[in-house]
Structure 1
């Protein structure tokens, strides 16, 4: 959520790798600096999302375990309060979650599925009302033997749900029936074999989608039609036009609020790559690359003011923030907070 009075952050950290669960932090709105203030017990919270209930904001966390689960916390007060026990998602290793039309959605990497959980009046998740199981595979024998749903995200119009699957080299466009909680496939956009799509990001106009490959360091530029639910790939933007000697495993894309830049966190090279987007949104080109401030950047998010980037560096155990040059889009390191096995960041 974006707002000038935002003063809190929640940071996921993998407990199986020495993390503390969900780390609480205060945010200095002037400098962007984070200061740890405590932690909440949570098992391997690989991704967090923020929702809104009548009583105030609700924080959701998936546990990337087999079987997987999701936990909700009332964060209206100073100390997060769990809204019941963790709820199984009927899938393994959930890596992402999002909210739409009174439901919580989880992308379950291990089982290659998307789960739909209805929300109670207080925001607490209920047992899954449906599980959409993906089918297919890809050419990478180590990573694509079967489906691996990595992200599930509603489009800006709220009409559709897009599921990104690393194992099948595709993005599924789905329709959610809010009455039954069932998710059905409307269409599927296939990417070049071996791309291994991980996450996508929408252009502020809502007319373009940028799909990030994890197995190939490339962004697939797509046109998006919310009226018909059509996703059309129109171009590719390599993250390293001149090649890259060491392995590169992109993790997270972020589009600037004005639609001029796309930032991508890349593991292996431990970098943030800056792509300039043309005015039409149809093309992108890599124009800069800076160190990510640590090792193993797993997530990249935009700060509340829209002028800073925050990187969750899992391997080095920190969250590093950057001021962004408004003219060039180039991030400049401004500070860091130690967070063992950091996975993701959300602001309230």
Structure 2
């Protein structure tokens, strides 16, 4: 009897471990002024089936459109995109039980922050409407001090509706963390800042800027997993520029695009991410297309078009590829749901699964590191 009991207990324990290995968690940032949303949502994700189930959510958090985990995953920082009343919020997060507990919020020191990054010492915000960057020092507990530095961009470009002033759309650390790159949709530039993480005031110092084609609208930038190349997605013309990257210097290698040459509709390129193995690059386009395009990445960093797939909804704002590389989750903001694609890790191709994750105005999807 003792032997049978041990076998049963061992079997139950093994099944529990197996179930845990097949479960991931992800967070979703939303807009709360478009429909009923309480802010940030925590989901469990089953790697065997691609099913997601709501696990937890915040209450009364205003427009936490973009999120970032601290390096130790114990904190979550969120922008609160709310015009002149915009703030930045911090939350304590538990990987074990998925709890997300509000700690504090501070004035964002900018208008409509639309992107956020952090490291052990600082939290950095990109502000779309004010065309600015703000930097907050962290306390030892991970909470935020008052803004230590703000930087305001100036200038304009070709598009009379979108480029009459600076619009900083994203911040990105360089692979070696020596620099911070800021994409500016309003001025058609990438600004490259030297990053002095330990400084109390002069944390960012301008090193250089790279000007792209007028009217292109730089939106989001990502680095290849090996850190040798950078890829810039441009919202207004759907272009992707491939850069060689070395020690704060971007050198253009080629240009391609997420649209066909004869495309006549509205363009709204949005998000760009690598597959975990670095072999494929994916990018979404909103506007009239509402699709996601995949490129094969060559050894020299250049791209080959692979395929384009409908996003399964309207307004594919952001997407996330799970750490195993088997699934792609697309936030169709205007459809109020997330679509799940099964991904072939060998070919990079996507197949739409017959399920959606209903959620009000999803913007940003982040898997727990």
Give the shorter-chain TM-score range. Answer: over 0.9
1:9 aligns with 2:26: yes
Paired residue total = 340
Query: Is this contact kept in 1: 2:325–2:345, CA < 8 A?
Result: no
Alpha-carbon displacement from aligned partner over 1:198-230 (angstroms, at most 9, x marks no partner): 00111111010000000011101111102xx10
Distance across 2 between alignment mates of 1:280 and 1:257: 18
Deviation of 1:245 after TM superposition, in Å, equals: 2.9
CA, structure 1 residues 78+259, in 2 after alignment: closer, same or farther (shift >3 Å)? Answer: closer
Higher relative contact order, chain-length normalized (CA < 8 Å, sep 6+): 1
Output one character per residue of 1:275-321: Cα deviation in whole Å (capped at 9) or x when no partner. Answer: 2222210x213221111121101101221212221111110001112
1:211 paired residue number = 232
| Deviation of 1:176 (Å) | 2.3
1:39 to 51, 54, 57: 57
**Which residue number in structure 1 is paired with residue 268 of structure 2?**
249
- Structure 2 matches for 1:106-125, cutoff 5 A? 106-125=125-144
Secondary structure in structure 1 of the residue aligned to 2:74: strand
- How far apart, CA to CA, are the structure 2 residues paired with 1:183 and 1:6? 39
1:337 equivalent in structure 2: 357
Greater percentage in helix: 2
1:187 correspondence with 2:208:
yes
Correspondence for 1:327:
346
Are the aligned partners of 1:240 and 1:286 in contact in 2 as well (CA < 8 Å)? no
After TM superposition, which residue ranges in structure 1, 4 or more long, deviate above 6 angstroms?
none
* TM-fit CA distance, 1:5: 6.6
Mapped partners of 1:312, 1:30: distance in 2: 21
1:126 alignment partner, SS class: strand
TM-score w.r.t. the length of structure 2 is 0.88
Provide the secondary structure at the position in 2 that maps to 1:45: coil
| Equivalent in 75, 79, 82 of residue 62 of structure 1 | 79
Match of 1:231 in 2: 250
1:232-281 Cα distance to aligned partner (Å, 9 max, x none)? 22210122244223212110001122322111111021101112222210
Contact 1:89 1:127 in 2 (8 A): no
Cα gap change, 1:102 to 1:5, in 2 (>3 Å): farther
Find the counterpart in structure 2 of residue 263 from structure 1.
Answer: 282
Is the radius of gyration larger for structure 1 or structure 2? 2
Q: Displacement, 1:169?
A: 0.6
Answer whether contact 2:233 2:272 (CA < 8 A) is retained.
yes
Separation in 1 of the partners of 2:347 and 2:156? 39
Query: 60, 73, 84: which one pairs with 2:91?
Result: 73
Shift of 1:33: 2.1
Matched, 1:174 2:211: no
Unaligned runs of at least 5 residues, structure 2: 1-19
Q: Distance in 2 between matches of 1:30 and 1:87?
A: 40
Are the counterparts in 2 of residues 4 and 304 from structure 1 also a CA contact under 8 Å? Answer: no
Instruction: List runs of 5+ in structure 1 lacking aligned partners.
Output: none
Q: Which residue of 1 aligns with 2:219?
A: 198
